[in-house]
Structure 1
């Protein structure tokens, strides 16, 4: 008697002699413990799907035979509970290929592909998801965040962006390695108009912890599709609102940053080797990443205004009255990619300075993107970039913990990240040295050659005179020298040979290449062979 064809919903563990007519929807290879096996998802005419494991012993034979979107009659396989760590199907069972399994009747059956079931971003944010179940998501790229565009020692290719769906709900998305490389390549070569639509099949949801809630790729099962000519992406594009603001987001900056606010924890800040007050930072002779506390007095007005247009390819300033806007590297940008650049007047105790806050941190602080804020002002009849939004008035008279990049050659201090928690402010202050410590330079410091293909969205701009974020209004206290105390002066009068510890004994600073500022440069280090000069302060 001929064995009848069963449906996948009827399969159970009671026997192995099942016969099913199915279509292969997806397949992929998995390497585990140095062994490679194949996995796939199959679906029957009723729309029921199930995950199949083809062990290493049979992979080579069936890898070429089994094709995606083809139909087969499968017979004789083992049925097990679906205990996979990451499940591509929510079926309670999984199938395992054996030496007796057969795949025949290629493309005989008429089995339609089921409609893709996308996970709404609102459900992910609401916590309606399973950590072990892979999901399909679709959305357009609203804004690109931190990217690691160059792989290196201990660093993997990485892209982070904000994805929005048709309900205007946004979610962080992180792509790694091959998936990140595919996105970077597409973004750099993209010449299309309209939004970038990303579809992730079998994406993994990562719960909020050290980093925000996000969807990411697995290293084998996930399928990444970007603006591809398929029905799902076409339907999504046709359903998007046809407003100009959305359509202006076609070319997005994907640049490499050494740090990002969302990836720096409070513990990272407190463990920074250079935690010091503002006065000490302004005396450093090397490019340094420091953590400090400062009060923001106000946003300083400059001749450049509060925003600039960024190049879609390298992140530098794109100039021009009308599109295409051109950066100094010669790249043409057809759309207006608006980015913040705010000069903050800051102070701590008796020292004043200027911190340059770039787009990511300013967006985080203000709660609105530069593009949206500019759109709001244009709608209100304000088109002059020198007309500063009233929203900026609320930044002043607040104290923050800042991680900054100090560049003595150009006398600029750029904000890498900030925190406004009072408890953290007090913890950082407690770590300030009682004496002013001036680290000595190494006798030789290596400086990496800038990578022409890599730039920071934030640390870009202008000519040599304009590179300082404080080009128009530099503070008077850019170089703070500790005065000689009365006790020290008395000792000097008694013993003229007494060696006065002074900042002027510092080794000459390393002369770095000319700008741009977006080159990768190692932070300051203390010499391992010289003692630190300590200048004691007089107790009042």
Structure 2
């Protein structure tokens, strides 16, 4: 008598004798800071339910060459634990861990859907209907390049773009290292002159929303602006010289762009927020280039002298969407709103104080 197949949605920690008929949707290797490697993967059954699977380092050699992405198979036996992965890729509350007694047999299973994507709606992301420990699939067309950080000593390639979906919703997206380099190579190729669509799997949402009041400037050694590309907001390697930016622009004369650090508070809590060019220009009603030129016309060349007009950024209560950077004890402002009704709505509906 053959054993019946269990459904992924029914997996719990009541037993280890599970029998699953699944497709391997994705598989990847993880190496920790001690150089120890393990495998993680996502499997899906015929009902479309998914669960995250862990193969520990002591079972790695047995399975690393056997498991192939998109294969269908029968898996027998495995331990079940709470899904405590730092980054989760599906909604199942449990994870399956391979045992020494786990077996797997490759078999053609036509009733299991082929590998696909579970795209997260941009509208839900903008409304905060997402989990910060969840990796999502997203797709959108590139509508704008915000910033390009080149591969220089001590820094990795980062390309910040704005993605737009079919409904017109926009979100900011960072492409790191190899993904940023691939994007730039495609973007700067003269043969590719159409719209650029980006599809990301297992993308991470690292932004959060808060309400705070701006207090005072944090004076950095760079002053209130930096010199950047005329096309994107990437920093110029030398404001005195022409150069070719990573975005493909030949920059004859870099232009000043806002980068201002401000202390903000929410009750007794204080933190440093970094305000970038577009946000500052929107509030002040003038570009950093215009303000800098006005200073120079009045005989002031020192970037450490903060113009009086910048005071308009202070003593404002606003709703912020920020990317927290704990390594530098600061947060980068991605979007802000000072509309009183909206700020009140955010406070009432989303901001919860811990007791």
Report the TM-score range of the alignment, normalised by the length of the smaller protein. 0.5 to 0.7
CA shift in 2, pair 1:315/1:13, >3 Å: same
CA shift in 2, pair 1:189/1:56, >3 Å: farther
- Aligned-residue offset at 1:341: 7.6
Alpha-carbon distance in 1 for matches of 2:181, 2:215: 30
The alignment partner of 1:112 has SS state of coil
Which consecutive unaligned segments of at least 5 residues does structure 1 have?
211-264, 274-288, 293-309, 318-327, 329-339, 343-359, 368-393, 427-540
CA shift in 2, pair 1:57/1:109, >3 Å: farther
Tell me the residue number matched to 1:422. Answer: 311
Q: Verify the 8 A CA contact 1:136 1:202 in the aligned structure 2.
A: yes
Alpha-carbon distance in 2 for matches of 1:125, 1:146: 21
Tell me the residue number matched to 1:53. Answer: 54
Alpha-carbon distance in 1 for matches of 2:103, 2:224: 64
Where does 1:26-65 land on structure 2 (aligned, <5 Å)? 26-33=26-33, 34-65=35-66
Q: Deviations over 1:504-528 (max 9, x none)?
A: xxxxxxxxxxxxxxxxxxxxxxxxx
TM (norm. structure 1) is: 0.43
Where does 1:461-480 land on structure 2 (aligned, <5 Å)? none
Q: Deviations over 1:453-499 (max 9, x none)?
A: xxxxxxxxxxxxxxxxxxxxxxxxxxxxxxxxxxxxxxxxxxxxxxx
**Rg (Cα) greater in structure:** 1
The alignment partner of 1:4 has SS state of coil
Where does 1:59-78 land on structure 2 (aligned, <5 Å)? 59-78=60-79
Alpha-carbon distance in 2 for matches of 1:104, 1:424: 63
CA shift in 2, pair 1:132/1:362, >3 Å: closer
- Aligned-residue offset at 1:193: 3.4
- Aligned-residue offset at 1:12: 1.8
Alpha-carbon distance in 1 for matches of 2:128, 2:25: 28
Alpha-carbon distance in 1 for matches of 2:24, 2:56: 17
Alignment pair present for 1:272 and 2:220: yes
Alpha-carbon distance in 1 for matches of 2:204, 2:255: 35
TM (norm. structure 2) is: 0.64
Q: Verify the 8 A CA contact 2:81 2:96 in the aligned structure 1.
A: yes
- Aligned-residue offset at 1:24: 0.6
- Aligned-residue offset at 1:403: 7.8
Where does 1:10-409 land on structure 2 (aligned, <5 Å)? 10-33=10-33, 34-113=35-114, 115-153=116-154, 155-189=155-189, 191-208=191-208, 270-273=218-221, 289-291=222-224, 314-316=248-250, 361=277, 365=281, 395=285
Tell me the residue number matched to 1:2. Answer: 2
Where does 1:424-463 land on structure 2 (aligned, <5 Å)? none
- Aligned-residue offset at 1:98: 1.1
Which consecutive unaligned segments of at least 5 residues does structure 2 have?
226-243, 257-275, 316-355
Q: Verify the 8 A CA contact 1:21 1:109 in the aligned structure 2.
A: no
Alpha-carbon distance in 2 for matches of 1:110, 1:145: 44
User: What is the aligned-residue RMSD (CA, Å)?
Assistant: 4.1
The alignment partner of 2:61 has SS state of helix
Q: Verify the 8 A CA contact 2:184 2:246 in the aligned structure 1.
A: no
* Large movers: runs of 4+ above 6 Å: 398-404, 411-414
Tell me the residue number matched to 2:351. Answer: none
CA shift in 2, pair 1:46/1:418, >3 Å: farther
CA shift in 2, pair 1:188/1:364, >3 Å: farther
Alpha-carbon distance in 1 for matches of 2:118, 2:14: 30
CA shift in 2, pair 1:418/1:35, >3 Å: farther
Alpha-carbon distance in 2 for matches of 1:118, 1:29: 23
Alpha-carbon distance in 2 for matches of 1:5, 1:204: 33
Q: Deviations over 1:357-413 (max 9, x none)?
A: xxx94796369xxxxxxxxxxxxxxxxxxxxxxxxxx957x9999689x99xxx999
Alpha-carbon distance in 2 for matches of 1:189, 1:54: 41
- Aligned-residue offset at 1:68: 0.8
- Aligned-residue offset at 1:290: 3.9
- Aligned-residue offset at 1:61: 2.6
Tell me the residue number matched to 1:297. Answer: none
- Aligned-residue offset at 1:49: 0.7
- Aligned-residue offset at 1:266: 8.7
The alignment partner of 1:189 has SS state of coil
The alignment partner of 2:46 has SS state of coil
Q: Verify the 8 A CA contact 1:401 1:419 in the aligned structure 2.
A: no
The alignment partner of 1:129 has SS state of coil
Q: Verify the 8 A CA contact 2:188 2:248 in the aligned structure 1.
A: no
- Aligned-residue offset at 1:138: 0.7
Q: Verify the 8 A CA contact 1:400 1:425 in the aligned structure 2.
A: no
Alpha-carbon distance in 1 for matches of 2:37, 2:2: 35
Alpha-carbon distance in 2 for matches of 1:420, 1:167: 37
CA shift in 2, pair 1:7/1:312, >3 Å: same
